[in-house]
Structure 1
Amino acid sequence: MIESRVGSKGELFLPKKIRDKLNLRTYTKVAYKIEDGRLVV
């Protein structure tokens, strides 16, 4: 499991390793949901 942090304005920071693997670039839209008490992106 890779951990990350929440910024002072509520931003979620995805590690570069994950962004690269999923080909996420600046302004890529992602969806969030809470499932069984966990955040799923």
Structure 2
Amino acid sequence: MLKDSDKVVLAFDEKPNQVVGFSTSVSDGALSAYIPFLEVLPAY
């Protein structure tokens, strides 16, 4: 899932040193992009 995405963005909380969210996108590189996943832990 992450390997084949054009972009991957991770959100970290430094204090517990953990990933708290992520997003992936697939793009044509010019005009449009699709965001299939946008996940964030409920506490954030």
Fold-level similarity (TM above 0.5): no
TM-score (norm 2): 0.24
- Structure with more relative contact order (C-alpha pairs < 8 Å, separation 6 or more): 2
More strand by percentage = 2
TM-score (norm 1): 0.24
